[in-house]
Structure 1
Amino acid sequence: MEEKKFDKNSLIGFLIIGAILIWMLYMNKDEQAKDEVTTEQVANETTNLQDSTTTKQVTPTEINTAAATDSLAVEGLKNRLGSFAYSGTLPSATDAVTTVENDVLILKVSNKGGYVVEAMLKEHTTFTGEQVYLIKDGNNDFNLQFTAENRLLNTRDLYFEPSLTKSGENNVLTMRLKSGTDSFIEYRYALIPGEYMLDFSIKSQGLEGIMDTSSPIYLDWNLKGYRHAKSISYENRYSRLTYEHDDEDFSKLDPTGEDAEVEKDVNWMNFRQHFFSSMLLTDTPFKEVAFSSLDYVIDEEVDTVFTKKYGAKILLEPKGGSLAENMNMYYGPTDYQIFNDYDRNLDEALPLGWGIFGMINKYVVIPLFGFLSGFLPAGIAIIMLTVLIKLALSPVQYKQYLSQAKMKVLKPEIDEIKKKHEGNSMKIQQETMKLQNVAGASPLKGCLPAILQIPVFYALFTFFPTAFDLRQKSFLWAEDLSSYDTIAELPFTIPFYGDHVSLFPILASIAIGAYMIMSTGQSMQAQQQPGMPNMKFLMYLSPLFMLVFFNNYASGLSLYYLTSNLITIGIMLVIKNYIIDEDKIHAQIQVKKKTPKKQNRFQKKMSDMMEQAEEQKKTQKKKK
């Protein structure tokens, strides 16, 4: 019976993959290193930007206590608001809202502040079956702060006059904060049919002698992200503030704890809430923006409503003594296809991986999966995607097995070399390299194919958690492929594992374990060789890792790993039993050994160095 030995190449491959998995799970940081900026530093920089002149800030209480029918109150309102007291005496000076909508989005805009107080997506629901609201019940604050007649005013405290009209097929809502019949600050919202992106602009008219454009004018946007998914911690992991600045430079704030940053020339910002995004884009880059992010999920059992609080304090630049800012707002899915259609680099807001990993996702995985899911159920589309990828990589896998087969055939001769030159490690290494060179085999050739598969492996690892097409798509017992599947609820929480049992990670772990046993070809001995690690422990480490840490990951990702390992096992069996003939390989090697093979420059240099080292060793022995 053939004695089965441990395959060192497989061990190297497993260790590399395990290290990459740990890196992907625990080092989910920015792809580009950057200096840390604390919230206090940002606050200091923001303060330095503000005008040092003394202004009188007007509070909401002072405005609301002034009754338009009371002449003394009106006079007091004028003292506090100056020319903008006019808006406080209009019929629109109430907290009423105006609704503007298209076929995918409903927005409600309040007279007070003139900003969106409710944004609902018509075609999407949360994990509880309720409509998805990105803005609701005061989680959004959108404020223009400016100086007028030595008064520091905030539009969130002032009343706008609404006007709802049609412009072609677009529904247009104009909100005006008036200081007179022909002098005002205007917010204009234009909803396009079928679009989550809307036109938004801010302009001022007739305020040249009222608004102080020499003092800083800030647009301050703050938003608390609502929970929409079954696992708030998993959703929170992929919720992040991202933005483009300095001409196609993309950055992100830290997704954990509290982070802040001040950036120049910002083109857009995305308050990403995993599968949904609230965005502000501008035609002309914002001169300076102070970003902030605060993580709300400390304890999943307690923190169940919000994931993060995002903030952006934007410095606006008046042109010709007045405001004229043309922008866009986006309230909708974090969907690569939708983002890519706008041709504004919005796809960079998705965590698809950097460099070659992102390219594989953008140009291979996403188009292929989009095609398959167009006519197949999501679960079947994942299986077919995995099959096609594994078939495409099968030549690489064949090279790996061929190299392993050559090393196996050479083993008896390598053992003879070790026996012949016992105690002389340098000579053993030198003769072994010569033999491998002649046979065209080496451990490196067996390891390289596994390394070549890593970019695809990592690309798919980043694709499945961000694939919007998987959201709320069921397969077998999994109700939602974008979240974990559940076959049992636990009455307690296990650290790192959770309070439930997911079946797909269990099946994937079994498949990985079976593959490792087959690929290592071991019948574990009770006694380990001296200096060798505990191979049984290493063999079970990867399946255990999958079982524990993927229990809370998207079931679509676990389905991919299950399918991938089953296909790998199948390909391995076909190659070993029907393609690779070890006797034929042995015969070919013997023929090659009789035909001297010319060494390349690197091999020649290595051989010369080893011979020199051997000569030096002999010389030292003679001297002794």
Structure 2
Amino acid sequence: MEMDRTSIVGIVLIMILFVTWQYVTAPSAAEIEMEQRYQDSIAALSDQELIEENDPKFVPEGGAVSTASDSLRLVENRSRFGGFAPAAAGTEEEVVLENDLMQVTFSTKGGTIRRAELKNYAKVIEQDGNEEVRLPLLLLNDDQNKFEYIIPVNGVSGEGVRTSDLYFEPTIEGNTVSLRAPVDGGGYLEQRYTLEDGTYLLDYDVRFEGMDEVIANTGGTVRLYWENHLDKIEKNSQYEGNYSTLYYKPVDDDTDYCSCTSDDVEELDDQPLKWVAGSQQFFTSALIADDRFSSAVLTTVADRERLADDELKVLISELNLPVGTSGSETFGMAFYVGPNEFERLRAIGYDLSDVVSFGSSIFGSINRWIIRPLFNFLSSFIGNMGITILVLTLIVKLLLYPLTYKMLVSQSKMQVLKPEIEKLKAKHKDDAQAQQMETMKMYQEYGASPLGGCLPMVVQMPIWFALYRFFPASISFRQENFLWANDLSTYDSILRLPEWIPFMQGHLSLFAVLWAVTTVIYAYYNSRHMDYSAQPMMKYFQYIMPIAFLGFFNSFAAGLTAYLFFSNVFNILQTVITKNFIIDDDKLRAKLEANKAKPKKKGGFSARLQEALKEQQRQQAATQGKKGK
């Protein structure tokens, strides 16, 4: 049977595809050599087994007893690790670098940091009976941590060889430790760390030497996988968790970060990075490239169901290094493992100080360039940070006193005009709209404003919002004592409460209670002569509000609640002194009468207000006329 043209074309195409597939999948010369070495090892193993069957006590040249299991392990290592087989067996050891600030311990298995102890800081835990115990503060110390290069190797299937499975040979010279993993042919993979005095910054280089026949050609990249399990360090772990995440700095863009409160994944395939940092509330572990990481995938795990009880978060950084195109390459980096000290991080450069959670908006700028320098200046000659907060509060209140004085004068005007307001209410007791219009007209005639007391509060709001971020982010307040508070960066617990009480989180903060009490006192003193007939609920809301917010401030930094308490005390003192000794009600009443007697300018806001009032009166009269008919 003759074949049609379509069938012939199809068979030819299939043959072409088959030949092409055979060519593409054919092993390279290096893979053929690797396979031959593997077969030779199998043959050698078989010969050895025959010798041992005939003479179990056979001792080869050199005196070392050889076993079939050892030979089989060599064969397995060759299959799993390819050219890295010489580094696949060994004994794990620890080596140490130390300076005046920290002690860094390295493991020869994987060639990575096993733990870093910061000498000038401590971790404080509470035992039964509220007893506090100070422990060494360790970073990068979780047993589940991983820091490994995934290297594609000729003859090894899958992703390649993971350096966490290799044993590195250590060499210490002064303040430098070199960790080398040998490869076939005399080459090696080296991780080199250098630690100078007075710094938390380790110089870190990874060197690929004589590995052009070992590394498979994958486009010139090697992947670094860094999995950092953050352990709980601070007393308020919930708050610590909200300030912990992965930060990263694109080469040509501003610093960014993953979500602080939920699981997150950032795929940065086409965005080279300068650095990536796993930051906790007060401490950071950052990897900074001398040049750049070519791309990255960053993952944060914050879901409590996916974390162990003692874990805060898991931070995973997958970084691509642009290496692997030649036989000898070095990729330079720096490893920062230390506290979030703003000036220290700023001196490193590359916007690394952005890991300090002062905020990224206008409030962050206020914290960085106004509040922080002011605190540093005050604390340079004041030994206690609580006293520094008190002095800062006094300075803020003195600077804002001109506005506060205007606010108190405005309140006094309302108090002086209260009899006139009562007359208007009596005159228009059945017409709330008329009361409102006549009251507004009277305010305009006397030159008074019920909103005159709002300006100082509005001006202070940026300071409040900035301090809301400043105290829990500034390491200067960590574990600083003041009065009953033993740590101004977290809540000042004076009483344990049952966990079932909502919003209180099992404790009672005295500074938060004092803030709530003084807020109620201040509100009462200010509202004694105010008229709440139009909005009666406002009279009670000003007392309910501080009680409702007590649950919020109860777990906040004692530094902030102390500031708010001091601020209320100064507000009360300023109000009492100003109203009783500075403002003269008789002179103020005479000034108001003089304002009323002055001719009012036509046009502008006053004219528009008068016209609006008249229009409302006309509409009201027209509405009442229609109802009368």
Q: Do the two structures share a fold, i.e. TM-score over 0.5?
A: yes
In the TM superposition, 1:93-242 aligns within 5 A as 93-127=90-124, 128-151=133-156, 152-166=160-174, 171-180=175-184, 183-211=187-215, 212-214=217-219, 217-242=222-247
Task: Specify the code of the residue in structure 2 equivalent to 1:392.
Answer: L
Q: Structure 1's 431 and 543: CA in aligned 2 closer, same or farther, altered over 3 A?
A: closer
The residue aligned with 1:570 is 573
SS in 2 for 1:129: strand
Could you tell me how far 1:438 is from its partner in structure 2?
Answer: 4.5
Residue 559 (1) aligns with residue 572 (2):
no
Give the distance between the partners of 1:303 and 1:77, measured in 2 at CA. 34
Deviations 1:7-44 (A, max 9, x none): xxxxxxxxxxxxxxxxxxxxxxxxxxxxxxxxxxxxxx
Task: Specify the code of the residue in structure 1 equivalent to 2:510.
Answer: L
Deviations 1:60-108 (A, max 9, x none): xxxxxx999944533442233222223336xxx3211221121111111
SS in 1 for 2:296: strand
Task: Specify the code of the residue in structure 1 equivalent to 2:247.
Answer: T
The residue aligned with 2:36 is none
Task: Specify the code of the residue in structure 2 equivalent to 1:578.
Answer: F
Give the distance between the partners of 2:622 and 2:348, measured in 1 at CA. 73
Deviations 1:419-462 (A, max 9, x none): 65677767665554454344443233322321111001111122
1:533 counterpart (526, 537, 547): 537
Instruction: Answer yes or no: is the 8 Å Cα contact 1:67–1:74 preserved in 2.
Output: no
SS in 1 for 2:171: strand
Could you tell me how far 1:248 is from its partner in structure 2?
Answer: 4.1
Could you tell me how far 1:113 is from its partner in structure 2?
Answer: 1.2
The unaligned stretches of length 5 or more in structure 2 are 1-24, 32-65, 125-132
Give the distance between the partners of 1:541 and 1:286, measured in 2 at CA. 54
Could you tell me how far 1:121 is from its partner in structure 2?
Answer: 0.9
Give the distance between the partners of 1:432 and 1:53, measured in 2 at CA. 95
Deviations 1:222-241 (A, max 9, x none): 11111222232232232233
Residue 481 (1) aligns with residue 488 (2):
yes
Residue 365 (1) aligns with residue 374 (2):
no
Give the distance between the partners of 2:402 and 2:582, measured in 1 at CA. 12
Residue 451 (1) aligns with residue 455 (2):
no
Q: Structure 1's 67 and 551: CA in aligned 2 closer, same or farther, altered over 3 A?
A: farther
SS in 2 for 1:339: helix
Q: Structure 1's 109 and 494: CA in aligned 2 closer, same or farther, altered over 3 A?
A: same
Could you tell me how far 1:348 is from its partner in structure 2?
Answer: 1.9
**Rg larger for:** 2
The residue aligned with 2:88 is 88
Give the distance between the partners of 1:260 and 1:346, measured in 2 at CA. 21
The residue aligned with 2:319 is 314
Give the distance between the partners of 2:400 and 2:584, measured in 1 at CA. 21
The residue aligned with 1:63 is none
Could you tell me how far 1:137 is from its partner in structure 2?
Answer: 4.4
* TM-score, with length taken from structure 1: 0.79
The residue aligned with 2:332 is 326
Q: Structure 1's 53 and 374: CA in aligned 2 closer, same or farther, altered over 3 A?
A: farther
Deviations 1:508-548 (A, max 9, x none): 22222211111222799xxx958632733x23323323543
Residue 352 (1) aligns with residue 358 (2):
yes
SS in 2 for 1:103: coil
The residue aligned with 1:269 is 276
Instruction: Answer yes or no: is the 8 Å Cα contact 2:248–2:255 preserved in 1.
Output: yes
Task: Specify the code of the residue in structure 2 equivalent to 1:126.
Answer: K
Deviations 1:336-382 (A, max 9, x none): 23223333322322222343211221122211222222332122222
Task: Specify the code of the residue in structure 1 equivalent to 2:548.
Answer: F
Query: Identity of counterpart residues, as a percentage?
Result: 33
Give the distance between the partners of 2:67 and 2:386, measured in 1 at CA. 62
Give the distance between the partners of 2:582 and 2:470, measured in 1 at CA. 33
Instruction: Answer yes or no: is the 8 Å Cα contact 2:219–2:325 preserved in 1.
Output: no
* TM-score, with length taken from structure 2: 0.79
Q: Structure 1's 294 and 595: CA in aligned 2 closer, same or farther, altered over 3 A?
A: same
The residue aligned with 1:256 is 261
Deviations 1:361-407 (A, max 9, x none): 11222112222223321222221122222222222222221222223
Task: Specify the code of the residue in structure 2 equivalent to 1:401.
Answer: L
Q: Structure 1's 511 and 53: CA in aligned 2 closer, same or farther, altered over 3 A?
A: farther
Could you tell me how far 1:324 is from its partner in structure 2?
Answer: 4.0
Between 1:265-274 and 1:192-201, the stretch displaced more is 265-274
Q: Structure 1's 116 and 433: CA in aligned 2 closer, same or farther, altered over 3 A?
A: same
1:584 counterpart (582, 587, 597): 587
SS in 2 for 1:482: coil
Task: Specify the code of the residue in structure 2 equivalent to 1:164.
Answer: I
SS in 2 for 1:274: coil
The residue aligned with 1:244 is 249
Q: Structure 1's 506 and 213: CA in aligned 2 closer, same or farther, altered over 3 A?
A: same
Could you tell me how far 1:132 is from its partner in structure 2?
Answer: 0.3
The residue aligned with 2:411 is 404
> Which structure has more RCO (C-alpha within 8 Å, separation ≥ 6)?
1
Give the distance between the partners of 1:195 and 1:478, measured in 2 at CA. 31
Instruction: Answer yes or no: is the 8 Å Cα contact 2:471–2:560 preserved in 1.
Output: yes
Give the distance between the partners of 1:546 and 1:303, measured in 2 at CA. 32
Give the distance between the partners of 1:507 and 1:426, measured in 2 at CA. 41
Task: Specify the code of the residue in structure 2 equivalent to 1:244.
Answer: K
Q: Structure 1's 506 and 620: CA in aligned 2 closer, same or farther, altered over 3 A?
A: closer
Give the distance between the partners of 2:236 and 2:625, measured in 1 at CA. 72
Instruction: Answer yes or no: is the 8 Å Cα contact 2:207–2:330 preserved in 1.
Output: yes
Give the distance between the partners of 2:625 and 2:554, measured in 1 at CA. 64
Task: Specify the code of the residue in structure 2 equivalent to 1:154.
Answer: R
Deviations 1:577-601 (A, max 9, x none): 1222222222122222233343674
Instruction: Answer yes or no: is the 8 Å Cα contact 1:296–1:306 preserved in 2.
Output: no
Give the distance between the partners of 2:26 and 2:601, measured in 1 at CA. 82
The residue aligned with 1:382 is 389
The unaligned stretches of length 5 or more in structure 1 are 1-51, 57-65
SS in 2 for 1:218: strand
Q: Structure 1's 290 and 585: CA in aligned 2 closer, same or farther, altered over 3 A?
A: same
The residue aligned with 1:520 is 527
Q: Structure 1's 241 and 257: CA in aligned 2 closer, same or farther, altered over 3 A?
A: same
Instruction: Answer yes or no: is the 8 Å Cα contact 1:68–1:74 preserved in 2.
Output: no
Instruction: Answer yes or no: is the 8 Å Cα contact 1:188–1:201 preserved in 2.
Output: yes
Instruction: Answer yes or no: is the 8 Å Cα contact 2:263–2:303 preserved in 1.
Output: no
Give the distance between the partners of 1:54 and 1:124, measured in 2 at CA. 56
Q: Structure 1's 344 and 598: CA in aligned 2 closer, same or farther, altered over 3 A?
A: farther
Q: Structure 1's 54 and 319: CA in aligned 2 closer, same or farther, altered over 3 A?
A: closer
Give the distance between the partners of 2:484 and 2:406, measured in 1 at CA. 37
The residue aligned with 2:472 is 465
Give the distance between the partners of 2:354 and 2:448, measured in 1 at CA. 42
Could you tell me how far 1:164 is from its partner in structure 2?
Answer: 1.9
Task: Specify the code of the residue in structure 1 equivalent to 2:187.
Answer: S
Instruction: Answer yes or no: is the 8 Å Cα contact 1:438–1:596 preserved in 2.
Output: no
The residue aligned with 1:290 is 297
Q: Structure 1's 534 and 365: CA in aligned 2 closer, same or farther, altered over 3 A?
A: closer
Give the distance between the partners of 1:585 and 1:495, measured in 2 at CA. 48
Give the distance between the partners of 2:416 and 2:529, measured in 1 at CA. 17
The residue aligned with 2:598 is 595
The residue aligned with 2:501 is 494
Q: Structure 1's 439 and 349: CA in aligned 2 closer, same or farther, altered over 3 A?
A: farther
Instruction: Answer yes or no: is the 8 Å Cα contact 2:375–2:388 preserved in 1.
Output: yes
- How many corresponding residue pairs? 551
Task: Specify the code of the residue in structure 2 equivalent to 1:442.
Answer: S
